[in-house]
Amino acid sequence: MELAHRATILTPSLTLSIDSKAKAMKAEGIDVCSFGAGEPDHDTPDHIKAAAMASLDGGFTKYTPSSGIPELRQAIADKFKNDNGIDYKPSQIIVSNGAKHSCYNAILATCQADDEVIIPAPFWLSYPEMVRLAGAEPVIVHTKQENDWKMTPEEFESAMTPRTKMVILNTPGNPTGSVYTKEELEALVEIAATEDILILSDEIYEKLTYDGAKHVSIASLSKTAYDLTITVNGFSKAYAMTGWRLGYLGAPEAIAKAIDAIQSHSTSNPCSFAQQGGLAALRGDQSAVEEMRAEFDLRRQYIVQRLRDIPKVTVVEPKGAFYVLANISALGLTSSNFSERLLSKHHVAVVPGVAFGDDRTVRLSYATGLDTIKKGLDRIEEFCKSL
Ligand SMILES: *Cc1c(COP(=O)(O)O)cnc(C)c1O
């Protein structure tokens, strides 16, 4: 039996392998401090759960339109207008099984063999694999720490070729925590527009920004930006709904239509009662979002200070999401070596940056309680000083 080529080119997820090793150690009774989490440690707010349960009790258990129920698409259109300053009609919105699914749908609908897709590194590790699954080629741009891990217009331009079809931008970013300013995004759009390069804008962390950093949606910048951009968002991070599998995108009409066709023949509609939960999330009380953000912010400040106190470790203060990227290259280990030794000897799980395209760094998630963060940082400090 021969597997399809596309299945053989995928890299197994490194984040998942560290995570499973940490879980196995925990199961053996070892006290592991994990900074590996890629999801909020909070539970979904009660009013969202109640709406989904009520819809289940009411028999809302059948297929829905593949692109999502009309009420939810309208609520998302309203959200894009009010929160992001983007005018999408409900027909331009496709609800999916998560923001990850929306990214994949968007890439499948627009990219193919011979196309290149520019991805700034450190990147969210699924982007290059999705591009490969579509038969296209990821082109990695290595950003600089002194630029807060953000791609500059010059770096973007020099990665462009006549084959460039798309650029993927993720702000606030995972794993960097970087937030692009309006001016920085405008400069990138200006370059994309010279060759009609599509922009896949992953805005899943938009609600989690700190220190007055402001999230800016690329499609809101200008008519040119709007026409080139596919805006991806979802419920997982803002409303702690990772397990619900619910996300969405907004796009120019022709792209939305193509994505709907792909989705209708692959996954059909997103879960019916999860959509009712999503509707309650968007229409209901937003205070839980701010409570969660404020808690993340306290942890962020603590973790950054502690890491900065460790000799030879440097960090850019993250302005969004719930990750901090620590540059450990001055300690003389690769990111995998560092992470493996830290886990096996000191029982702390972090994610090696090599998974994100940057071997000088490790990612620490602060989507975990302050007690764990404190204990874990004591151990990290001890480990780094021993090197
Ligand atoms: C978590 C995450 C997503 C995935 O969100 P889902 O809606 O759960 O699929 C997308 N992009 C980035 C950068 C993420 O970190």
Task: Classify strands 198-202 and 229-234 as parallel, antiparallel or unpaired.
Answer: parallel
Give per-residue pLDDT as tens, 293-322: 999 999 999 999 999 999 999 999 999 999
Closest CA to ligand 1's atom 5: 99
CA distance 74 to 67: 12
Q: Which residues line ligand 1 (CB under 6 A)?
A: 38, 98-100, 124, 170, 174, 202, 204, 234, 236-237, 242, 247
Q: Determine contact, residues 246/234, Cβ cutoff 8 Å.
A: yes
Which of these, 342, 40, 142, lies nearest to 352 by C-alpha position?
342
Residue in 95, 100, 366 to alter for ligand 1 test, most ligand atoms within 8 A of Cβ: 100
Q: Give the pTM.
A: 0.97
| 387 residues of the chain, pLDDT tens digit each | 999 999 998 877 766 777 788 889 999 999 999 999 889 999 999 999 999 999 999 999 999 999 999 999 999 999 999 999 999 999 999 999 999 999 999 999 999 999 999 999 999 999 999 999 999 999 999 999 999 999 999 999 999 999 999 999 999 999 999 999 999 999 999 999 999 999 999 999 999 999 999 999 999 999 999 999 999 999 999 999 999 999 999 999 999 999 999 999 999 999 999 999 999 999 999 999 999 999 999 999 999 999 999 999 999 999 999 999 999 999 999 999 999 999 999 999 999 999 999 999 999 999 999 999 999 999 999 999 999
Residue in 105, 125, 170, 174 to alter for ligand 1 test, most ligand atoms within 8 A of Cβ: 174
> Measuring CA to CA, how many Å separate 261 from each of 115, 132, 268?
21, 21, 9
Q: Which domains does the chain have, with CATH numbers?
A: 5-44+287-386 (3.90.1150.10), 46-283 (3.40.640.10)
Sheet strands side by side (includes 323-327): 314-315, 323-327, 361-365, 351-352
Distance 15 CA to ligand 1 centre (A): 14
Task: Classify strands 314-315 and 323-327 as parallel, antiparallel or unpaired.
Answer: antiparallel
Ligand 1 atom with minimal separation from the 321 CA = 15
